[in-house]
Structure 1
């Protein structure tokens, strides 16, 4: 069974493959499909648009959706924007807290160099 760091390494490789094949300029939904394909090819369990319940004061009020959930351990939040804003980072941290998971990866595919578009976020629990 792989830990979060091993899964993260494979996710990063998949992100590089998608970027190499598509480059910048597509909608997030296209990157989501391509990344899901790459992750499954690497033998990872990958679910897209996963609904998780949102509770406020012990009452379920609705759901929030994760772009990708990999091996039930790592959240991948996909963006294709000209510039990531602080709220994008905070969004992933909130998802980690609400889900109880430890690791998330925020990726912005709309960059000149994909290395500049990948961010690891850790839930301090």
Structure 2
């Protein structure tokens, strides 16, 4: 894995993800994992918000909006995907 900007926070988030995955396993829709991860992040004392709308700007002009699945401590955006496996476009 490459360099993490918020390494300690990112490692805590990854730990929460593994706790959710090890408990639920695979096969559920994305929303099930999103809701479960939100619960686990909060259990671990992290500030986590779900489906946060962010305006997107280009050259000072608003060009659209983005909905983040989960935002942790106003620093890390989590975009969840439920898939059968890791496809090449998901790597890197």
TM-score past 0.5 threshold: yes
Residue 84 of structure 1 aligns with which residue?
87
Q: Secondary structure at the match of 2:28?
A: coil
Question: Does residue 42 in structure 1 map to residue 55 in structure 2?
Answer: no
**For residues 50 and 22 of structure 1, do their structure 2 counterparts lie closer, same or farther at Cα, with a shift above 3 Å needed?**
same
Structure 2 CA distance, aligned partners of 1:41 and 1:85? 33
Aligned counterpart, 2:30: 28
Task: State the partner residue of 1:69.
Answer: 71
- The aligned residue for residue 59 of structure 1 is 61
Q: How far off its partner does 1:28 sit?
A: 0.6
- TM (norm. structure 2) is 0.83
TM-score, L = length of structure 1:
0.63
- The CA RMSD measured in Å over matched residues stands at 1.9
Structure 2: give runs of 5+ residues left out of the alignment: none
Structure 2 distance, partners of 1:44, 1:61, is: 31
Counterpart of 1:10 in structure 2 is 12
- Structure 1 unaligned runs (5+)? 90-118, 120-125
Counterpart of 1:19 in structure 2 is 21
Runs of 4+ residues deviating >4 angstroms: none
> Shift of residue 85 of structure 1?
4.5
> Cα offset for 1:84?
3.4
Separation in 1, partners of 2:57, 2:15: 34
